[in-house]
Amino acid sequence: MADKFNVVGISAHRVDGRGLVTGKPVFVDDLPKHPGLLHVALLTSPHAHARITSIDTRAAEQVEGIALVLDHRNTPHRRYTTAGQGYPEPSPYDSRMFDTKVRWVGDRVAAVAADTLESAERALGLIEVDYEMLDPVLSIDEALADGAPVIHDEDDALDVWDAERNISAHMVASAGDAEKGLAESDVVVEVTTETHYAQHAPLEPHVVSTFLDEQGRLVIVSSTQVPFHVRRIIGRLLDVPVHGIRVIKPRIGGGFGVKQEVLIEDLPSLVTLRTGRPAQMVYTREQEFISSRTRHPMRIRVRLGAKDDGTLHALAMDVLSNTGAYGTHGLTVLSNVGSKTLPLYNKAPHVSFRGDAVYTNLPVGGAYRGYGATQGYFPLETAVDRLAGELGMDALEWRSLNHIREGETSPIFVALGEGREGVEQTITSCELDECIRLGAERIGWSEKRGKREREGSKVHGVGMSVHMQGSGIPMIDMGAATIKMNDDGSFNLLVGATDLGTGSDTILAQIAAEVLAVPLESVIVTSSDTDITPFDVGAYASSTTYVSGMAVQKAAEEVREQILEVAALMLEADPGELELVDERVVAGDDRSVSLANIGIRTLYGVEQQQIGATASFVPELSPPPFLASFCEVAVDESTGRVDVLRYVAAIDCGTAINPKLAEGQLEGAIANGIGFALFEEMIFDAEGHPKTPDFARYKIPGPMDMPELETILVDSYEPTGPMGAKSVSEIGINAPIPTIANAIYDATGVWLTETPFTPERVWRALNG
């Protein structure tokens, strides 16, 4: 399909690549500092659960260079959510800038602003805090136990499901009658899995700098995925009107969801508002681990019931999610555990989903690439392998019989949306069969599956799993784009869409260049400045290519119409007979005019006007990308060590607007997922103190840890997307856990149900 395009479908270099690879100052902390800068540092709680009975900041205030100390006594008390979501946010308002209670080791106690970071840190050490210790709640089971300490006992939190029982959020959805369906099934399997705490570990931590502009407006420069939500949420929190705030997002060094959170913008903002001075706050790596956001650990039970012929008859999923000390993203991540997984097997007439997100005195769960689907696919896709085994069917054959297809729907699309009911959807493109076929061929499925080839203490196995995700949040997300034409026939593309390292600026420029028939270099992209670029909800939910991409396509089409109207006058032709080709407008015969001539004429000549347009897009659908994932492992039975030898991921993401960038997204997601599956783990002691808050103890995969990885972009076209595109960014991270678990079973005959699959855990499973 891509061959009908000129700029789309090409692996063009990133539009921001030159500055990045030559080390230009492009990230927040690299930008020139404003004179009089104050450094903001944060004092965090050493206790998992305690009441602050007194704070004495007098000694801290005497430190030279201290401008301001902030704590619960001199900051706004209103409750809000740090979740960077659309308004009204579906997350509970259970956070305060500073509270009188601390709810996890790493919670906020006080902040200091000083001339130097050294002074700020010295002052932090002089703040005296008295705590009344409370019993900490350190697991899902402790949170739900009768008589458990109540973590959110305040009386002013909003939209907490059942604070008395530590339940932050609750969600149920169903179609048919799952219990009846399971009873009617010939074969039933049940799997319960536990997934662990993990952190996003972006190379650039959270960084925010603030200052007042010449007119006294608050400017916030932030490494954020959600600049427009930052403007709104900070405005409401600090009582500044939206028009008094400008949020600028420069280049971002990775987000993976942790920057879909208004996490620290409030502190330097308040310092700047109170002192009039510029301020900056940079999370330390330790704070990034413990005072930031994490992936929600979950316990999930999946029950599948099938008829003897293999057709799925009933599907039930029960989820307990640990949202940590606050409920940010708790409800919506919980919803996505089901909404992004259950529709994949739409043949079952009986489906049920129920889940609770519970509070604990541990780090706060948030948005993390995959957004719940990662946790949900572990039990689902390992249960599918068990079911196929019980039915005597091959894992590929069972999935081909039961997965959703083009033209089909699932009742779950309507029953379960983003923290509320969803919308009706029919699948408009699905090349999952081709993904499965190609992936199986490349991994050598039929030669290797079930063979248990041995070399010494190592035994080999192959495993696979299939996946879907979404492309934005239907009927909620919105993206907008503005395009204006310059006097040399180039264009400015202004987007609120937020490139956080994904390459979205580049693919949005490719879409515009395609419609306007210009080379990529003729499109100058400006992304994310709330004063300059039109609104966009931001970078999350795999939305940018599909939602913001459609806005860009619509804006470019409107600009093309304006160009053709001017050209029609110049060429004395009918606009309907004109076409844009290679930077020119051509009539049916040999008459033509260049875009540069049109640009200079409209700005300086006759019929003077600014050619330009703004367009918005709100998606009615969220077309899922599909993925078939395969790997080969060697399990050392003497040590429990699992080596992933080869990995093959075949994806249907619709048109890959930029194939190299699409592959990069998929490779990154698989690497991220392998780290989560095998070794990335946040561990806490019996009092809830973190034992792994650095890269020495929390291991993320480097190049040497990566298996031979093959990504395959399967030919596909999504008719509702921009140039046929869907999404690619999140889906891959869901795959490694079930794929590796299924491969470990193929090698050893043992099922892993707890992550990560460390040597110790695997050895224990092998040795019963």
Residues near ligand SMO (CB under 6 A):
225, 257, 260, 367-369, 371, 540-541
Continuous segment of H or E residues that includes residue 247: strand 245-248
Are 372 and 336 in contact, with CB atoms under 8 Å apart?
yes
Cα(first)–Cα(last) distance of the chain, in Å?
52
491-495 vs 523-527, strand pairing mode: parallel
Q: How far is the CB of 319 from ligand SMO (least distance, A)?
A: 17
- Residue 26 is which amino acid? V
Residue 371 or 647 having the CB closest to ligand SMO: 371
Residue 47 or 251 having the CB closest to ligand SMO: 251
Residue 9 or 422 having the CB closest to ligand SMO: 422
Report the length, in residues, of the chain: 768
Q: Tell me 158's DSSP state.
A: B
Instruction: Outline where DSSP puts E strands in 653-748.
Output: 708-713
Residue 367 or 714 having the CB closest to ligand SMO: 367
Chain centroid offset of residue 730 CA:
6
Of the candidates 370, 405, 420, the one whose C-alpha atom is nearest the C-alpha of residue 727 is 370
Q: How far is the CB of 413 from ligand SMO (least distance, A)?
A: 18
Q: How far is the CB of 260 from ligand SMO (least distance, A)?
A: 4
* Cα distances (angstroms) measured from residue 585 to each of 574, 577, 596, 608: 12, 10, 10, 18
* Cα distances (angstroms) measured from residue 458 to each of 260, 303, 461, 755, 763: 42, 32, 10, 21, 12
Residue 225 or 328 having the CB closest to ligand SMO: 225
Helix axes 395-402 and 432-443, enclosed angle (nearest 10): 170
Q: Which two tokens stand for residue 67?
A: 């401008």
Q: How far is the CB of 730 from ligand SMO (least distance, A)?
A: 6
Q: How far is the CB of 540 from ligand SMO (least distance, A)?
A: 3
Q: How far is the CB of 670 from ligand SMO (least distance, A)?
A: 16
- Which residues share a beta bridge with 211? 219
Residue 598 or 671 having the CB closest to ligand SMO: 671
Rounded CA Rg of the chain: 27
Are 279 and 38 in contact, with CB atoms under 8 Å apart?
yes
Q: How far is the CB of 731 from ligand SMO (least distance, A)?
A: 11
155 Rama class: left (phi>0) / alpha (psi -120 to 50) / beta: alpha
Query: 3-class SS at 291?
Result: coil
Residue 361 or 375 having the CB closest to ligand SMO: 375
Of the candidates 653, 621, 664, 650, the one whose C-alpha atom is nearest the C-alpha of residue 717 is 653
Q: How far is the CB of 1 from ligand SMO (least distance, A)?
A: 27
Residue 624 or 640 having the CB closest to ligand SMO: 624
Q: Which two tokens stand for residue 503?
A: 């390459």
Q: How far is the CB of 541 from ligand SMO (least distance, A)?
A: 4
Q: How far is the CB of 262 from ligand SMO (least distance, A)?
A: 13
Q: Tell me 86's DSSP state.
A: S
- Side-by-side strand order, sheet with 479-485: 523-527, 491-495, 479-485, 612-617
Q: How far is the CB of 84 from ligand SMO (least distance, A)?
A: 8
DSSP notation for 520-549: GGGEEEEE-BTTTSPPB--S-TT-IIIIIH
Residue 260 or 755 having the CB closest to ligand SMO: 260
Residue 293 or 601 having the CB closest to ligand SMO: 293
Residue 201 or 485 having the CB closest to ligand SMO: 201
Residue 231 or 329 having the CB closest to ligand SMO: 329
Q: How far is the CB of 474 from ligand SMO (least distance, A)?
A: 14
CA atoms of 300 and 319, how far apart (whole Å):
4
* Cα distances (angstroms) measured from residue 628 to each of 138, 392, 465, 478, 651: 36, 21, 6, 29, 6
CA atoms of 613 and 580, how far apart (whole Å):
17
Q: How far is the CB of 255 from ligand SMO (least distance, A)?
A: 7
Residue 500 or 631 having the CB closest to ligand SMO: 500
Torsion of CA 369, 373, 379, 385, to 10 degrees: -100
Residue 228 or 368 having the CB closest to ligand SMO: 368
Residue 293 or 449 having the CB closest to ligand SMO: 293
User: Residue 63's CB: how many other CB atoms inside 10 A?
Assistant: 19
* Cα distances (angstroms) measured from residue 632 to each of 24, 175, 444, 642, 644: 41, 37, 9, 10, 6
Q: Which two tokens stand for residue 333?
A: 């991540």
In the bound complex, which residue of the shown chain has the CB atom lying closest to ligand SMO? 257
Residue 402 or 502 having the CB closest to ligand SMO: 502
CA atoms of 763 and 758, how far apart (whole Å):
8
DSSP notation for 620-671: S--PPPEEEEEEEEEEETTT--EEEEEEEEEEE-BS-SSHHHHHHHHHHHHH
Are 462 and 648 in contact, with CB atoms under 8 Å apart?
no
Q: How far is the CB of 365 from ligand SMO (least distance, A)?
A: 11
CA atoms of 646 and 633, how far apart (whole Å):
7
CA atoms of 748 and 637, how far apart (whole Å):
8
Residue 257 or 675 having the CB closest to ligand SMO: 257
Q: How far is the CB of 79 from ligand SMO (least distance, A)?
A: 23
Residue 235 or 257 having the CB closest to ligand SMO: 257
